[in-house]
Amino acid sequence: MATIIKGKEVAEYVLADVKARADALLARGITPCLAVILVGDDPASQVYVRKKKEKCEELGIRSLQIHLPAETTQQELLARVEALNADPSVHGVLCQLPLPEQIDEQTIVRAVRPEKDVDGFTCRISADERDLMPCTPAGVMEMLRYAGVAVAGKRCVVVGRSNIVGKPMAALLLQADGTVTVCHSKTRDLAAVTREADILVAAVGKPHFITADMVKEGAVVIDVGVNRVAEKKLLGDVDFEAVEKKASFITPVPGGVGLMTIAMLMKNTVRAAAQQTI
């Protein structure tokens, strides 16, 4: 039976350090500040934005909420981002995704200055300590560290190649000296590839897509997927019940990687504030 890596436990561990760093900044008269832009009224986005605000308040981080109408143009949004880029009292800037269809997400994501890009979407993933790492993949790396899972030399398989999860996840595992394979919808004989994995990361967006026959005995299985299958029911990409019996470590959904994403956002915000006020 696998050991469950609990997101709450790892997030609390990370946030204790973030709080200490935020307090040290406050003692110097610096209040870390995160600006979150929400365009439109998508209910899920509203929930995410509210959670970010609450977490900021818990940590003594100033939270600036900018709510724009759904018909906001790209130019108007760019002007808002530019103003926040130029404001020295704001240390982190993010636009809640998805954005309305008249706005090109990549243009907006790239408009945020790298030192304020607390989502880490523009990160080059190098060994540079100053880089703000992409939150979800960085959260996975924290979970592996916390569980004592060494990545160096391991065969790592990431299923999914999105710009915000799959690709940066693969890059971070590679940075940690894993031997990394990235799979996607065109991968042939996916199960044969996933069965090779010592560390398997699922970021597909399909409920219970990874079944026990796709997992090697003793593998570490990380489930990034969040799939809403009923109003109050979330399922991961991994068939948890079956895979738990085979894996050595596994993350649950809910209560897994999702809790790490917001913790890493807070970490990036405080780190950005520290770097901008040296």
Q: Which residues bind ligand NDP (CB under 6 A)?
A: 136, 159-162, 164-166, 183-187, 190, 203-205, 224-227, 257-258, 261
| Catalytic residue, candidates 55, 96, 198, 223 | 96
How far, in Å, are 143, 152, 168, 169, 180 from residue 175 at the CA level? Answer: 16, 9, 10, 10, 10
- Give the nearest distance from C-beta 226 to ligand NDP in angstroms: 4
Using the minimum distance from each CB to ligand NDP, give the nearer residue, 25 or 95. Answer: 95
Give exposure, 58-73, as e/b (b: 16+ Cβ within 10 Å).
Answer: ebebbbbebebeeebe
Q: Please say if 75 is a catalytic residue.
A: no
Nearer to ligand NDP, 124 or 186 (CB): 186
Q: Which residue lies nearer to ligand NDP by CB, 31 or 187? A: 187
Angstrom distance (rounded) from CA 215 to CA 195: 5
Q: Which is nearer to ligand NDP, 92 or 166 (CB)?
A: 166
Shortest Cβ distance from residue 247 to ligand NDP (Å)? Answer: 18
- What is the smallest separation between the CB atom of 214 and ligand NDP, expressed in angstroms? 10
Contact 194, 183 (CB under 8 A): yes
Of the residues 117, 119, 131, 223, only one is catalytic, namely: 119
* 276: three-class secondary structure by DSSP: helix
Cβ atoms within 10 Å of 108's Cβ, excluding its own: 21
Rounded to a whole number of angstroms, the minimum distance from the CB of residue 215 to ligand NDP is: 15
Backbone angles phi, psi at 156, to 5 degrees: -115, 130
Which of 219, 264, 227, 222 lies closest to 245, judged by CA? 219
- Active site (annotated) includes residue 23: no
Residue type, 87: D
CB atoms within 10 A of CB 98: 13
Has 96 been annotated as catalytic?
yes
Distance CA 43, CA 34 (A): 21
Q: From the CB of 105, what's the least distance to ligand NDP, in Å?
A: 11
Residue nearest to ligand NDP (CB): 162
Residue with Cβ nearer ligand NDP (31 or 46): 46
Residues marked as catalytic: 52, 96, 119
